[in-house]
């Protein structure tokens, strides 16, 4: 099989946990959607230009949300250009970058690297080794800029691996560990916003972990892999109600902490993600329904 296909599959598997924080395109104006995609495209091109082509394989919407909320909070001035890319070769698209893009790209690199490293402990497949060794060369720059963040991310993934190795049935323990990781990523600096940002990241991390575990339950059961919900394999309605309660609580805390930030910029896009995009995504997964409205 082609080496590029091996690596792409490894990245898809390694980053499968991410991508749950999305917009509902149908509820955005054209201008709002263009700005959202502009930040996404900005992150994509920044990764390529500063960390190499391979880094773009780990691009996800969760990190785009991080850029939006930090940009809105700190009122960072964006640089807007219009460029073509391989995905849209015929028409120039808006590309938006700022100093938050650099931070988010570094967090994307650190998160992707340590997640790929973590995968080696699970499967040790050839595609995992190929992806890990290629991505390893991209770590240095991000690590040197944010060594404390890097060590914290690595430490939390090690804690999570330990809990999973113990086959922990406590969804709070495992989801809180991933929540701690995301909480640290959302904190740009130690200031008056730190507590709110940490709570937003923490509860989004819990939401991601819980929903990912719910969505993967059948496949994990068939392959004999760890899943904190394994005891619910024959109690799906009970599990659905449990997951619904847990996620509703976490998203409620996210919404409150966002409101407490009193954001002025991109508020309608951020509200769309939290109140519509995320809500539709998790409800559709719970019901195993169509996700055609969630982009």
Here the CATH number for the domain that contains residue 137 is 1.10.600.10
Determine the Cα–Cα distance for residues 114 and 185; give it in Å rounded to an integer. 14
Closest CA to 42 of 78, 95, 92: 95
In a domain, 124, yes or no: yes
In a domain, 142, yes or no: yes
Query: Is the model's pLDDT at 5 over the cut of 70?
Result: no
Q: How many CA atoms lie within 13 A of 199 on its CB side?
A: 16
Q: What is the pLDDT of residue 221?
A: 93
- Residue span of the structural domain in which 283 resides: 3-287
Query: Is the model's pLDDT at 293 over the cut of 70?
Result: no
Q: What is the pLDDT of residue 287?
A: 86
In a domain, 219, yes or no: yes
In a domain, 175, yes or no: yes
In a domain, 294, yes or no: no
Query: Is the model's pLDDT at 281 over the cut of 70?
Result: yes
Rg (CA), the chain: 19
Q: What is the pLDDT of residue 77?
A: 92
In a domain, 245, yes or no: yes
Question: Picking from 10-14, 66-70, 203-207, 235-239, which range would have the lowest pLDDT averaged per residue?
Answer: 10-14
pLDDT band at 86 (very low <50, low <70, confident <90, very high): confident
In a domain, 213, yes or no: yes
- The partner residues of 79 in beta bridges, in order of sequence, read 97
Query: Is the model's pLDDT at 128 over the cut of 90?
Result: no
In a domain, 46, yes or no: yes
pLDDT, tens digit, for every residue of 98-125?
Answer: 999 999 999 999 988 888 777 776 655 5
- Report how many domains make up the chain: 1
Closest CA to 242 of 201, 286, 280: 286
């Amino acid at each position: 099989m082609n080496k590029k296909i091996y690596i792409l599959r490894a990245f898809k598997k390694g980053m499968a946990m991410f991508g749950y924080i999305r917009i509902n395109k149908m509820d955005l104006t054209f201008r709002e959607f263009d700005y959202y995609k502009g930040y996404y495209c900005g992150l994509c091109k920044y990764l390529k230009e500063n960390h190499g082509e391979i880094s773009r394989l780990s691009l996800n919407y969760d990190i785009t949300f991080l850029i939006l909320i930090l940009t809105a909070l700190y009122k960072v001035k964006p640089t807007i250009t219009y460029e073509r890319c391989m995905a849209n070769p015929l028409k120039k698209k808006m590309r938006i970058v700022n100093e938050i893009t650099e931070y988010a790209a570094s967090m994307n690199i650190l998160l992707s690297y340590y997640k790929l490293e973590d995968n080696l402990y699970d499967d040790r497949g050839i595609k995992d080794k190929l992806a890990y060794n290629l991505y390893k060369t991209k770590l240095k720059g991000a690590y040197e800029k944010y060594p404390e963040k890097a060590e914290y991310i690595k430490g939390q993934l090690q804690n999570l691996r330990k809990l999973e190795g113990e086959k922990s049935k406590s969804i709070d323990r495992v989801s809180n560990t991933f929540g701690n990781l995301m909480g640290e990523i959302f904190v740009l600096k130690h200031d008056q916003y730190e507590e709110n940002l940490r709570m937003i990241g923490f509860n989004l991390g819990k939401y991601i972990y819980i929903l990912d575990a719910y969505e993967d339950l059948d496949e994990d059961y068939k392959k004999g892999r760890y899943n904190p919900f394994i005891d619910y394999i024959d109690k799906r309605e009970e599990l659905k109600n449990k997951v619904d309660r847990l996620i509703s609580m976490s998203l409620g805390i996210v919404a409150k902490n966002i409101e407490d930030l009193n954001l002025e910029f991109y508020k309608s896009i951020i509200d769309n993600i939290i109140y519509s995009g995320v809500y539709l995504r998790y409800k559709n997964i719970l019901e195993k329904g169509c996700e055609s409205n969630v982009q």
